[in-house]
């Protein structure tokens, strides 16, 4: 499913970009400057969930979180119906199981779009690699 995004972000990179006191904020901001951004798959819902439950002054209202996501990531994508139907088989063939399945779904979106996936989640790198996704680790 092609997209006009230059880069897709997973939840870890999206949060780093949106939360100014995140330790990776400046690095992600620098990596994304000038690019048209999108979120891959359910990273949009995950980002919204985290933004609305952050502690203290970083917590956003539901409306503010939705607006921030929409403004920062105008080219977010989801799996096509066919890719969603075959995702479990693709993940199984790659040996991906447990919690890594959610990283796998994000990776499948980026792979289908043919767009580099930006992440701050070193734990997910193996899953992204197993699915042949071009990844930029911040």
The one-digit pLDDT tens for each residue of the chain (138 residues) are: 456 899 999 999 999 999 999 999 999 999 999 999 999 989 999 999 999 999 999 999 999 999 999 999 999 999 999 999 999 999 999 999 999 999 999 999 999 999 999 999 999 999 999 999 999 999
Alpha-carbon distance values, 129 to 10, 122, 134, 137 (Å): 14, 11, 8, 12
Whole-number pLDDT of residue 48? 98
Whole-number pLDDT of residue 111? 97
Class of the CATH domain delimited by 7-137: alpha beta
Given phi > 0 = left and psi -120 to 50 = alpha, else beta, which region is 102?
A: alpha
Cα dihedral sign for 100, 131, 28, 5? negative
Whole-number pLDDT of residue 4? 80
Q: Give the whole-angstrom CA distance, residue 30 versus residue 16.
A: 11
Whole-number pLDDT of residue 71? 97
pTM of structure? 0.94
103 is in an annotated binding site: yes
Whole-number pLDDT of residue 122? 97
CA count, 13 A, side-chain hemisphere, 73: 29
Both structure tokens of 15: 């949060």
121 is in an annotated binding site: no
Whole-number pLDDT of residue 11? 98
């Amino acid at each position: 499913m092609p997209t006009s995004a230059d880069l897709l972000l997973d939840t870890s990179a999206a949060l780093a970009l949106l939360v100014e006191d995140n330790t990776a904020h400046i690095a992600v901001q620098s990596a994304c400057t000038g690019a048209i951004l999108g979120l891959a798959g359910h990273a949009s819902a995950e980002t919204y969930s985290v933004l609305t439950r952050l502690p203290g002054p970083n917590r956003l209202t539901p409306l503010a979180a939705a607006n921030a996501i929409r403004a920062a990531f105008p080219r977010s994508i989801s799996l096509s119906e066919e890719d969603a139907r075959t995702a479990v088989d693709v993940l199984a063939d790659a040996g991906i199981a447990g919690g890594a399945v959610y990283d796998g779904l994000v990776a499948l979106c980026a792979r289908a779009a043919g767009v580099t996936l930006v992440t701050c989640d070193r734990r997910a790198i193996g899953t992204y690699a197993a699915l042949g996704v071009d990844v930029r680790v911040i």
